């Protein structure tokens, strides 16, 4: 049989056609997988959901909210009911992710179920936002969960849907959403609406941009009435040229004293007592604009270095973590506060660098006695220094699995997070100021 006849044999031609069809189907399947993001290389070094967001900001928020969520759940169980949540400024439903990620405090190693808000305890999560594109994506993410719903609404005009909806137990706004209220009147109106509309007992969580963050030190003022807002650059793009093309949003700056006055006025208008439970500064040296230097040219990219600490198989130059605070004249109290934080932060970083320098992996111990912790060190600093000494001594000899990159450095990140969280004062001295309030009509 000649070559030409073989190529045109009906059976072989059909097989070739089937092979081409299968190949096209496989290529289409790969294209769909790529489009869906399945082949996207994941990293926590940049973007909205970077390592600082996941391992610092979210976890700090969970730690703050946990005791109040516990109390709410206990009250719901006592009245044979389930928790109802209204998320104001929900975006993609990130508030639900945050809440359902709250774990019981210090669960035992033997426990398997450690989530505080288990699925059977949630009655309804309702997300409100002004961006229809975000809401459509959120609906796609949670389309199989009948206890989750989303609606378009502008909460700067008061509480949306307050006449049609049953009261909620938790009114929730995180990730700086309270700063969307650029005027005092709109915030007071929303909080007073919540106080009137909420359950007999409810919790309100507010989250603003802190007035005295080191990120925008140039905007500090002795009279908050002089400068209430910031022309906020959304810092998703790392390159300055691209960032300058991005959106700029007018956002409210807030400190604790201002927040207390506004919440008290909302309670007076509603005829309901609203009690502040806690104020908390979140992301003191790790806000997103630490890296951009958009509002303060003295900054070092500390957030980027902390992201490195939590990145798998990534070794961090600890020199990049050191803070060099530059005081601003006329703000003595704030300067003393930030300088104390800097000294403690840098002392912990340098202590870990010292410990790794004298550790002898072959001997599974330190080659010489580590420098003692100063008796004058604040308790959170001395505790974290001792913890890191034990961490390095316990795992430094492992060899397998890159113990520095994947154990010691993440633990240093958690130690720094613990340190800064326990030295904060809830004054509005960080990227985020969180306020949690109680409304008790009984």
Helix (H, G, I), strand (E, B) or coil at 47: coil
What is the fold, at CATH topology level, of the domain defined by 51-285+427-440? Rossmann fold (3.40.50)
Distance CA(95)–CA(116), nearest Å, equals 15
- Could you tell me the residue ranges of all domains in the chain? 51-285+427-440, 315-423
Which sign does the torsion angle of CA 224, 194, 101, 50 carry?
negative
Helix (H, G, I), strand (E, B) or coil at 383: helix
Helix (H, G, I), strand (E, B) or coil at 10: helix
Phi, psi of 250 (to 5 degrees): -80, 120
Q: What is the pLDDT of residue 3?
A: 45
Helix (H, G, I), strand (E, B) or coil at 61: helix
Q: How far is C-alpha 78 from the chain's CA centre?
A: 31
Q: What is the pLDDT of residue 29?
A: 53
Q: What is the pLDDT of residue 157?
A: 87
Please indicate, yes or no, whether the overall pTM of this predicted structure exceeds 0.75. yes
Secondary structure percentages of the chain, helix, strand, coil, to 5: 50, 15, 35
Q: What is the pLDDT of residue 24?
A: 62
What is the per-residue burial (b if ≥16 Cβ within 10 Å, else e) of 139-170?
Answer: eeebeeeeebebeebebbeebbeeeeeeebbb
| pLDDT tens track for 273-282 | 999 999 999 9
- pLDDT per residue, tens digit, the chain (442 aa), is 444 444 456 666 666 666 666 666 555 654 554 455 444 455 687 788 899 999 999 999 999 999 999 999 999 999 999 999 999 999 999 999 999 999 987 767 666 668 999 999 999 999 999 999 999 999 999 999 999 999 999 988 888 866 567 899 999 998 899 999 999 999 999 999 999 999 899 999 999 999 999 999 999 999 988 899 999 988 754 444 444 455 789 999 999 999 999 999 999 999 999 999 999 999 999 999 999 999 999 999 999 999 999 999 999 999 999 999 999 999 999 999 999 999 999 999 999 999 999 999 999 999 999 988 888 899 999 999 999 999 999 999 998 889 999 999 999 999 999 999 999 999 999 999 999 999 998 8
Q: How crowded is residue 207: how many other Cβ atoms within 10 Å of its Cβ?
A: 22
| pLDDT tens track for 214-230 | 999 999 999 988 899 99
Closest residue by Cα to residue 318 from 387, 403, 384, 409 = 409
> Which phi-psi region, left, alpha or beta, contains residue 283 (left: φ > 0; alpha: ψ -120 to 50)?
left
Q: What is the pLDDT of residue 159?
A: 86
């Amino acid at each position: 049989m000649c070559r030409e006849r073989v190529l045109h044999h009906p059976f072989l031609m059909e097989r070739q056609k089937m092979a081409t069809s299968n190949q096209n189907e496989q290529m289409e399947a790969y294209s769909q997988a790529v489009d869906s993001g399945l082949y996207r290389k994941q990293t926590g070094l940049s973007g909205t959901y970077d390592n600082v967001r996941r391992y610092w900001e979210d976890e700090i928020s969970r730690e703050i909210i946990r005791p109040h969520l516990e109390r709410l759940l206990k009250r719901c169980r006592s009245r044979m009911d389930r928790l109802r949540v209204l998320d104001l400024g929900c975006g993609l439903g990130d508030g639900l992710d945050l809440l359902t990620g709250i774990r019981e405090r210090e669960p035992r190693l033997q426990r398997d179920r450690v989530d505080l808000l288990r699925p059977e305890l949630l009655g309804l999560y309702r997300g409100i936002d002004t961006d229809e594109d975000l809401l459509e994506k959120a609906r796609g993410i949670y389309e199989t969960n009948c206890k989750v719903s989303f609606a378009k609404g502008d909460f700067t005009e008061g509480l949306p849907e307050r006449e049609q909806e049953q009261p909620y137990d938790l009114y929730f706004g995180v990730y700086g959403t309270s700063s969307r209220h650029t005027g005092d009147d709109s915030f007071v109106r929303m909080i007073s609406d919540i106080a009137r509309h909420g359950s007999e007992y409810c919790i309100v969580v507010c989250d603003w941009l802190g007035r005295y963050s080191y990120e925008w030190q140039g905007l500090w003022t002795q009279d908050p009435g002089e400068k209430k807002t910031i022309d906020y650059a959304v810092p998703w793009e790392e390159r300055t040229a691209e960032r300058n093309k991005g959106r700029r949003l007018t956002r409210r700056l807030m400190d604790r004293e201002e927040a207390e006055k506004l919440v008290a006025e909302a309670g007076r208008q509603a005829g309901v007592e609203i009690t502040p439970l806690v104020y908390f500064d979140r992301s003191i040296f790790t806000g997103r604009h630490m890296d951009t230097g958009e509002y303060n040219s003295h900054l070092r990219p500390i957030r980027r270095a902390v992201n490195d600490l939590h990145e798998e198989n990534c070794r961090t130059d600890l020199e990049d973590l050191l803070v060099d605070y530059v005081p601003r004249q006329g703000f003595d109290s704030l300067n003393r506060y930030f300088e104390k934080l800097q000294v403690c932060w840098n002392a912990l970083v340098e202590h870990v660098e010292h410990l790794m320098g004298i550790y002898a992996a072959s001997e599974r111990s330190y080659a010489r006695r580590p420098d003692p912790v100063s008796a004058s060190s604040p308790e959170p600093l001395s505790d974290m220094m001792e913890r890191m000494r034990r961490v390095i001594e316990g795992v430094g000899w492992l060899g397998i699995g890159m113990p520095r990159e994947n154990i010691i450095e993440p633990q240093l990140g958690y130690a720094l997070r613990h340190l800064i969280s326990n030295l904060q004062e809830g004054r509005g001295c960080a990227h985020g100021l969180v306020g949690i309030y109680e409304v008790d009509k009984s």
